[in-house]
Amino acid sequence: MLVRADLNVPLEDGRVADEMRIRAALPTLELLLERDAAEITVCSHLGRPSGPDPAFSMRPVEERLRELVSDERLEVLENTRFNPGETKNDAGFAQELASGRDVYVDDAFGSAHRAHSSTVGVATLLPAYAGLLLERELEELGKLLSEVERPFVLISGGAKVDDKLGVLQNLGGKADEVLIGGKMAEQVRDENPLDFEVILPVDVVAAAAFAEDAETRVASYGKVPEGWLGLDIGPETRRLFGERIQQAQTVFWNGPMGVFEWAPFAEGTKAVAEAVASVDGFTVVGGADSGRALNELGLTEEVSWVSTGGGASLELLEGKELPGVAAIPEA
Ligand code: 3PG
Ligand code: MG
């Protein structure tokens, strides 16, 4: 069996810094092992390397996975993106992945918005099935696609700005309020590519350098001193966003408000996480980074669903057919 999981997890000092996506992949692997799969090859991409690059090796992930499921029938392939064919959905690479395997199981919801060899190409070569995580993600996120309790508040942040702006544009009409923080807010302020009203930060935590121990100060939004960097939303914005979120009946949050991995810039993401957790209605948090922040704050159990997909969940919400889902006949 070939299992495509999304094991694109953050690494720090050569170790897995957050294992949400690894844990989320376990039920399918355990089920297949229980059902006597003879051999299971797990594959995934990790980061965005432009070719083989030890900094993006799957080995730390494999190590952690093996600690969680020790079974000699399990094999973990090296980063699929080490092969330049992967992101082009190259048929030759798909063939390589399919070769010697009888069944393909796609459990990589987080990568379902990518039409790559390991998410789409290989599904045309082998009998293809959805894994348990993929199914559950579609079920939970699907609830946001039908009628939702309002107000529906959408919060967006994170680093992959270019990926997400187009999606947000299409999502604008679905939510009653759209709050934007993080790097994305900068871009919306500068170019305003969206044609609907959004709530932007009013202040930011600015730093003298991109470093954990850099000197910081609070600046008005749009008035960050020359040469300084806005690395988190400020205290006034935390209050404003918190207020808006607390009025929601339905929430979808994707992407941190700042560089939350560094304590001086974690408060904005923390405030959003706490506000989302305090909402009584249906609350969904999507993406590896937001999921990690939630987990570090011990709030995972306080929301309705933590999606392993960031970009994928946004595109699903937008009403798009995800190529990785479309490739599976029964999904
Ligand atoms: C993610 O982390 O969003 C998925 O693993 C997809 O990664 P990508 O944005 O580099 O394609
Ligand atoms: Mg993503």
Are the C-beta atoms of residues 89 and 120 closer than 8 Å to each other?
yes
What b/e sequence results for 268-279 when a residue is b if at least 16 CB atoms lie within 10 Å of its CB, and e otherwise?
bbbbbbbbbbeb
**What is residue 324's predicted lDDT score, i.e. its pLDDT?**
98
For residue 116, give the ligand nearest its CA. Answer: 1
Kindly report which listed range (50-64, 100-114, 190-204) carries the lowest average pLDDT score: 190-204
Mean pLDDT of the chain: 94
Q: What's the confidence (pLDDT) of residue 319?
A: 86
Atom 1 of ligand 1, residue of closest alpha carbon:
110
Structure tokens at 317: 């919400």
Asked whether the predicted pLDDT for residue 307 surpasses 80, the reply is: yes
Lowest mean pLDDT among 78-87, 158-167, 250-259: 158-167
When mean pLDDT is compared across 31-40, 158-167, 209-218, 298-307, the lowest value belongs to 158-167
Which of 104, 43, 167, 145 is closest to 331 using CA atoms? 104
Pocket of ligand 1 from Cβ distances under 6 Å? 6, 8, 48, 110-111, 114, 160, 288, 310-311
Say which ligand is closest to the CA of 314: 2
Residue 220 has pLDDT above 80, yes or no: yes
- 197, 168 contact by CB (below 8 A): no
pLDDT at 93: 98
Task: Give the CA-trace dihedral at 94, 100, 102, 105, to 10 degrees.
Answer: -50
Query: To 10 degrees, what angle do helices 161-171 and 182-191 make?
Result: 70
How far apart are the CA of 110 and the centre of ligand 2, in A? 7
Q: Quote the ligand 2 centre to 167 CA distance (angstroms).
A: 12
pLDDT in tens, 154-210: 999 988 888 788 778 877 778 999 999 998 888 888 776 787 889 999 999 999 999
Question: Which pLDDT belongs to residue 164?
Answer: 83
Distance CA 252, CA 280 (A): 13
Distance (Å) from CA 97 to ligand 1 centroid: 20
Q: What angle do CA 99, 104, 108 make, to 5 degrees?
A: 120
Ligand 2 midpoint to CA 330 (Å): 24
Helix 20-34 to helix 132-142 angle (10° resolution) is 120
Task: Provide CB contacts within 8 A for 108, sequence distance 6+.
Answer: 4, 5, 6, 44, 118, 119, 134, 324
What confidence score (pLDDT) does residue 92 get? Answer: 98
- Ligand 1 nearest-atom number relative to CA 48: 10
* pLDDT > 80? residue 61: yes
The β-bridge relationship of strands 216-220 and 229-233 is unpaired
**pTM (two decimals):** 0.92
Q: What is the pLDDT of residue 286?
A: 92
| pLDDT score, position 10 | 92
Q: What is the pLDDT of residue 29?
A: 98
Confidence band of 62 (pLDDT split at 50, 70, 90): very high
* Predicted local distance difference test score (pLDDT) of residue 159: 82
Mean pLDDT of 37-49: 98
Q: How far apart are CA 109 and CA 7, in angstroms?
A: 10
Q: Ligand 1: distance of its center to the CA of 109 in Å? A: 10
Pocket test for ligand 1, best of 4, 6, 87 (most atoms within 8 A of CB): 6
**Over 90: is that where the pLDDT of 288 sits?**
no
CB 106 within 8 A of CB 327: yes
**Residue 245 near residue 276 (C-beta atoms within 8 A):** yes
Q: Percent of the chain at pLDDT above 70?
A: 99
Q: What per-residue confidence (pLDDT) applies to 187?
A: 81
pLDDT of residue 7: 98
- Which residues are CB-contacts of 192 (< 8 A; sequence separation ≥ 6)? none
User: What's the average model confidence in pLDDT over 36-41?
Assistant: 97
Structural tokens at position 144: 């946001």
- The reported pLDDT for the residue numbered 228 is 96
Instruction: Tell me if 152 sits within 8 A of 178, measured CB to CB.
Output: no
Q: Ligand 1: which atom is nearest the Cα of residue 110?
A: 4
Per-residue pLDDT, averaged over 42-61, amounts to 97
Q: Tell me, what's the pLDDT at 316?
A: 93
Band of the pLDDT at 146, cuts 50, 70, 90?
Answer: confident
